Structure 1
């Protein structure tokens, strides 16, 4: 019985680490940092992209987030799925259009149905503007494409 317990415990640890590892693999990170150091809660509370501070950081399943205040950090800890960006923080437009993981500009974002979507915006290409032209189709495609990407 003791060996069975240890075996189940070991398998649980392996399963968790693989889940965490695959989750991290699918996130748009720079040195384990999500959203390039921007505060995920501030998008919702201020409707602005606000740089977080290292002194208000939290590691959620291997992804480090910075927050602009202890209050925002506490809100995130209470409900991380409410604040984490969709599609692993990759460009929502690119996921919907071509199923590619494209870097984002954290200041280019949109809140849709209380979810955070981030977009590429550089070199005269603002993908949020392209997304807005065909949002319903792109979002439906992005949802399907993302489910395929995370299974790879």
Structure 2
């Protein structure tokens, strides 16, 4: 009887660990939301090297399991009309990490627009590694996404 209880307990623990192992499709900060509360649409009007634009609690939209914030109603409407155009690639997880088949959160200021798509990285230091082979890293990340969420 005791042995059966132990086996049942171990099975339950393994199953709960497996259920907890999968990352959500969109990386979202618990307090600030997707991209840690920055406006995804605003990136497309920034110059390289500029910091991300903070979104506002006044302009939010729920999409793909996350709360997205925007600096203006106009940016929110653009996102609502075509979220895939503005949302970061790989659910907002670090593009360099996904290219290496794991996930990491991102720094909203470590960004790059490539072929009209937004890519984020863990930090500016990590981004320096990512930019050494942008096409290769994107190809690897594309092949790993979304399966990497279950690693």
Q: TM-score, normalised by structure 2?
A: 0.76
The residue aligned with 1:39 is: 39
The runs of 5 or more residues in structure 1 that have no matched partner are: 1-23
CA distance in 1, matches of 2:87, 2:27: 12
Helix, strand or coil at the partner of 2:108: strand
How many positions carry a matched residue from both structures? 126
Consecutive aligned runs of 4 or more in structure 1 exceeding 6 Å deviation: none
CA root-mean-square deviation = 2.0
Q: Which has the higher contact order (CA 8 A, sep 6+)?
A: 2
Instruction: Identify the range of structure 1 (55-64 vs 84-93) with the bigger mean alpha-carbon deviation.
Output: 55-64
For the 8 Å contact 2:37–2:54, the answer to whether it is kept is yes
1:150 Cα shift? 4.8
**Contact kept? 2:93, 2:104, Cα under 8 Å:** yes
Partners in 1 of 2:72 and 2:28 — Cα distance? 21
Give 5+ residue unaligned stretches, structure 2. Answer: 1-22
Alignment of 1:133-152 (within 5 A): 133-150=132-149
**Cα distance 1:103–1:151, how it changes in 2: closer, same or farther (>3 A)?**
closer
Please tell me whether the aligned partners of residues 62 and 68 of structure 2 are also in contact (alpha carbons under 8 angstroms).
yes
Mapped partners of 2:37, 2:55: distance in 1:
6
- Based on CA coordinates, which of the two structures has the bigger radius of gyration? 2
